[in-house]
Amino acid sequence: MGVLIFQQGWAWSAKVEPPWRQQSMTTGARLSLFSGSIGALALALNHLLSGGSPAHVSLGRADVVGSLMAVGLMVVGLNWTRVDPTAQRPLALTGEQGLQLAEGLAEGVREELGWGSQMLLLNTAAVAIHCIWKQRPLLSRGLLTGTPYQDGPLAQRVLRRQQRLYLVNLKLFPGCREFTYLPEGTPAVLLEPLGPQGLLVVAGAKPRCFNAADLGWMEGWCQRLRQRLEEAEAGKIP
């Protein structure tokens, strides 16, 4: 099987860093938490200065109400704090930027593969893309390791069930050894079927890096790519 190989530029060979979740707090959450904390401290100070027991019934009631308000403000501030799963630091993966395109492809298929893979690499967190058709690698683009594509049980499962498989964090699947052709330490992998005969494998730069819009775009492109491949086999496109 002939393969055209184009190497583009530089190599990435930095150490893989551990993923992390960025915890972000809005201004309103900070104000709520700060106000509740100040209120709690003021109530505690007032309770200590009064000798541990309120001098008047109304003061005792105000103490209780103030405590509830302070705790409520702090709870609201903490609940307001949001964890953004997409705001994780991309990992530095080892590999060499390149493009491998199978020989003998129709011009329309070559253009579709080149355009679609470029859009994925530029507009999503994808770092490597492999397109397989009838067990034949048609395209490998992005961070390449030099290891050829290897079929495995997960790929066969996707082809058999015709359902997307999105492994959001490969550390949770220590038995997944079929992705040796992807950069070492790849945190996330997406397998999208191209009908019963093809498969798109996309490596992500960080866990949970593909959102709903990315997944929808990939699914639509796979349908378009499948149509181009079937038309090329039928001789409908040059």
pLDDT in tens, the chain (238 residues): 444 444 343 333 333 333 333 445 567 777 777 777 887 787 777 767 765 555 555 666 666 777 777 777 777 766 665 544 445 566 678 778 999 999 999 999 999 999 999 999 999 999 999 999 999 999 999 999 999 998 899 999 999 999 999 999 888 876 678 898 999 889 999 999 999 999 999 999 988 899 999 999 999 999 999 999 999 988 876 6
Nearest residue to 39 (alpha-carbon basis) of 11, 6, 7, 77: 77
> Distance (Å, rounded) from C-alpha 80 to C-alpha 72?
12
* Whether the predicted model's global pTM rises above the 0.85 cut: no
As a whole number of angstroms, the distance between CA 138 and CA 215 comes to 21
CB atoms closer than 10 angstroms to residue 89: 13
b/e map 51-61, b = 16+ CB within 10 Å: eeebeeeeeee
CA–CA distance, 117 with 146 (Å, rounded to integer): 18
Tell which CATH classification among 1.10.760.10, 3.30.450.40, 3.40.50.11540, 3.30.420.10 matches the domain 93-233: 3.30.450.40
Boundaries of every domain in the chain = 24-83, 93-233
